[in-house]
Amino acid sequence: MHALLYDVRKDALKQSKGIEFGEPFFKLIDNLGRLGRIAEEEGLLSLEEAIGKVPTDIKLREEIKWIGDLVILGTDPEEIVEVATAHYWMNDYEDGDALMYYLVLRAFLKMQGHKNGFVVEKFLTFYLPHDEEEKYMAYRKKVYAPEVAKRKSERKNSLFHDDPLFEELTPQRLLLEQEILDADGSDVYTMIRTIDLEGLKNILIGVAADARQKLLNNIASDLVDMLAGDWEHAKYVKEEKGLSKDDIMKSYDAALSIIQKK
């Protein structure tokens, strides 16, 4: 399997040498990243509906559909690689299309391996030249701007919003929530990896639902499962055991010091 993929990658990189990247590549990577997050959050079967919503003007849309279908049907990864690489050589993909085809194939293989949605997208950006990766991040911010604005207008209250004992935490909590919502996925991912587990639990319990979801989207699925129990019992912890405001404030401060270094 690795040899087949290596040969395709080698040819795709050779074919794409000196090409112009730009929006066609950015749109493809962004949509594959979206599919990766959906697969992670809702399962591989959810890809069928999600792939149907991929823009009709995206490059290699048909390839996205049939390779995605193989993953949805539970086809063995080695069989997917065998079929997909044979298709690559039989259809003489050239220039940017060759690299795009390789990215589509690798993205779905990572989804099938239950990789974090952010990891899928980040992996794809590694195939962009450095200056193009920066342009991609600018493109991504522009694309997601309406969604960010909508989330800000629909801010949900946190678990502590009506608790006078935690009222003094409100300014710091709102600042942290805003930083999380405005941050790139890579900055959020860095914060999650840097902060200690207890601090992460405090943040997940304390912040509003939209900020919490963005954090969960960038946490490995096995860690999410482990944290799920803590979230289910959050009110019990708060009401019966008592949460220290100092501990929560320290968690907020630690997270802000990390994420504001971006």
State the DSSP string of the chain.
Answer: -HHHHHHHHHHHHHHTTT---SHHHHHHHHHHHHHHHHHHHH-GGGHHHHHHTS-TTSTTHHHHHHHHHHHHTT--HHHHHHHHHHHHHHTT--HHHHHHHHHHHHHHHHHHTT--HHHHHHHHHTTS-HHHHHHHHHHHHHHHHHHHHHHHHTPPPPTTTT-GGGGGGHHHHHHHHHHHHHS-HHHHHHHHHHS-HHHHHHHHHHS-HHHHHHHHHTS-HHHHHHHHHHHHTHHHIIIII---HHHHHHHHHHHHHHHTT-
Q: Is the pLDDT of residue 180 over 70?
A: yes
Average confidence (pLDDT) over 3-31:
90
Q: Is the pLDDT of residue 254 over 90?
A: no
Question: Domain of 208: which CATH number?
Answer: 1.10.220
Q: Domain boundary residue among 117, 140, 163?
A: 140
| Long-range contacts at 17-20 (CB < 8 A, ≥ 24 apart) | 19/95, 19/96, 19/99, 20/96
Provide the CA 244 distance to its chain's centre, in angstroms: 32
Q: Domain boundary residue among 140, 168, 189?
A: 140
Per residue in 138-168, pLDDT (tens digit) is 888 888 777 666 655 544 444 444 455 455 5
pLDDT at residue number 120: 87
Q: Whole-number mean pLDDT of the chain?
A: 79
Same domain for 159 and 249, yes or no, is yes
Same domain for 224 and 122, yes or no, is no
- State which residues form the domain around 65: 2-140
Per residue in 65-109, pLDDT (tens digit) is 999 999 999 999 999 999 999 999 999 898 899 999 999 999 999
**31 is a domain residue:** yes
pLDDT band with cut points at 50, 70 and 90 for residue 60: very high
Q: Which two tokens stand for residue 21?
A: 């990247």
Same domain for 14 and 127, yes or no, is yes
Average confidence (pLDDT) over 5-17:
90
pLDDT at residue number 212: 76
**49 is a domain residue:** yes
pLDDT band with cut points at 50, 70 and 90 for residue 227: low
Same domain for 134 and 11, yes or no, is yes
Same domain for 114 and 243, yes or no, is no
Share of the chain above pLDDT 90, in %: 28
Same domain for 171 and 92, yes or no, is no
List Cα–Cα distances, 239 to 156, 180, 246, 249, in angstroms: 21, 27, 16, 18
**145 is a domain residue:** no
Same domain for 93 and 185, yes or no, is no
pLDDT at residue number 26: 92
Same domain for 101 and 195, yes or no, is no
Average confidence (pLDDT) over 159-185:
66
Q: Domain boundary residue among 140, 165, 189?
A: 140
**147 is a domain residue:** no
Q: Is the pLDDT of residue 262 over 60?
A: no
The number of folded domains in the chain is 2
Same domain for 206 and 134, yes or no, is no
Q: Which two tokens stand for residue 54?
A: 């991929």
pLDDT band with cut points at 50, 70 and 90 for residue 243: low
Same domain for 47 and 109, yes or no, is yes
Same domain for 174 and 239, yes or no, is yes
Per residue in 114-132, pLDDT (tens digit) is 877 778 888 899 898 888 8
Average confidence (pLDDT) over 198-208:
73
pLDDT band with cut points at 50, 70 and 90 for residue 214: confident
pTM beyond 0.85: no
pLDDT at residue number 253: 77
Q: Is residue 93 a contact partner of residue 15, using CB atoms and an 8 Å limit?
A: yes
Radius of gyration of the chain (CA): 21
Same domain for 221 and 109, yes or no, is no
pLDDT at residue number 240: 43
pLDDT at residue number 236: 42
